[in-house]
Amino acid sequence: QSALTQPASVSGSPGQSITISCTGTSSDVGGYNYVSWYQQHPGKAPKLMIYDVSNRPSGVSNRFSGSKSGNTASLTISGLQAEDEADYYCRSYTSSSTPSCVFGTGTKVTVL
Amino acid sequence: QLQLQESGPGLVKPSETLSLTCTVSGGSISSSGYYWGWIRQPPGKGLEWIGSIYYSGSTYYNPSLKSRVTISVDTSRNQFSLKLSSVTAADTALYFCARDTGGLGRGVDYWGQGTLVTVSS
């Protein structure tokens, strides 16, 4: 199975909003509302930021929001802060061959 | 607070089998609705989903790894395990054990700290 496509890097100034895209197919992102997003700081385990396309786990800032249109999911970070600088990965459920999951290629977010 | 801890050899020879165990504490691996799985990350690269298991024993694997992967669960010890056969240098990675909440693919809400496995002779 092929990894979902994310931009390699996205940058923004403090206070700005940025959006990270995650493009798949009708067999994964487009076919199910099981898209999740993860934040990973260097040397750390990933942290769940969004699940089921747009739901935030308890404790995650409301500056993070998720959405989906067709085969592309998106993560928006509003009011960008220095601590948001990290790698971000999307993941989707897929049934292209057997029930499984597939991650995105990852996006490095830089706060200018 | 749920905790996951990986254990196993940090060095595996090419063509041999990589074996890791994840011990779950602070909660039961037999709780319904949770899937327990493995995710890896080669040095400097992205995340790759390896597979997951339900406490009943149902397994789900990455199709690209399926021929080499076995995930099993031991509910009596609150552990689940990964075996990856015929390893090569490409299998060198940080291996995380993790919990998917609410169903396969919905979201990984708990992660282990990760354990680095190097494939080298």
CB A71 within 8 A of CB A77: no
- Residue-wise pLDDT for B72-113, tens only, equals 999 999 999 999 999 999 999 999 999 998 888 899 999 999
Of A48, A100, A105, Cβ closest to residue B61: A100
Query: Six-digit token pair at A80?
Result: 């960008």
- Is the Cβ of B64 closer than 8 Å to some Cβ of chain A? yes
Spell out which residues of chain A touch residue B52, defining contact as CB-CB under 8 Å. 101
Residue B94 gets which letter from DSSP?
Answer: E
**CB-based contact B22:B80 (threshold 8 Å):** yes
Q: Provide the β-strand partners of residue A78.
A: none
Percent of chain B beyond pLDDT 70?
A: 100
Q: Quick check: B61 contacting A, CB < 8 Å?
A: yes
Residue-averaged pLDDT of chain B = 96
State the smallest CA–CA distance between residue B118 and chain A in angstroms: 17
Q: Which of A2, A54, A100, A107 to mutate to test the interface with B (most CBs of B within 10 A)?
A: A100
Confidence at B12, pLDDT banded by 50, 70, 90: very high
More confident residue, A98 or A84: A84
Instruction: Check A93 against B108: CB less than 8 A apart.
Output: no
What is the nearest CA distance from A112 to chain B, expressed in angstroms?
22
Mutate one of A101, A102, A103, A107 to test the B interface: name it (highest B CB count within 10 A): A101
Q: Is residue A32 classed as helix, strand or coil in its secondary structure?
A: coil
Helix (H, G, I), strand (E, B) or coil at A40: strand
B108: contact with A, CB 8 A cutoff = yes
What's the pLDDT band for A1 if we cut at 50, 70, 90?
Answer: confident
Asked if B46 lies within 8 A of A105 by C-beta distance, the reply is yes
Token duo for residue A67: 């959405």
Residues β-bridged to residue B54: B35
DSSP B25-90: ESS-TT-TTEEEEEEEE-TTS--EEEEEEETTS-EEE-TTTTTTEEEEEETTTTEEEEEE-S--GG
Q: What is the pLDDT of residues A28-75, one digit of tens each?
A: 999 999 999 999 999 999 999 999 999 999 999 999 999 999 999 999
* Residue in B closest to A87 by C-alpha: B46
CA quadruple B57, B62, B66, B68: dihedral, nearest 10? -100
Token look-up 């994310």 returns A6
Minimal C-alpha gap between B113 and chain A (Å): 6
Among candidates A57, A93, A62, which has minimal Cα distance to A76?
Answer: A62
Q: What distance in Å separates residue B105's CA from the closest CA in chain A? A: 5
Pair A10, A61: CB distance under 8 Å: no
Element (H, E) at B115: strand B115-119
> Do B107 and A89 make contact, defined as CB atoms within 8 angstroms?
no
Rounded Cα distance, B108 and B106, in Å = 7
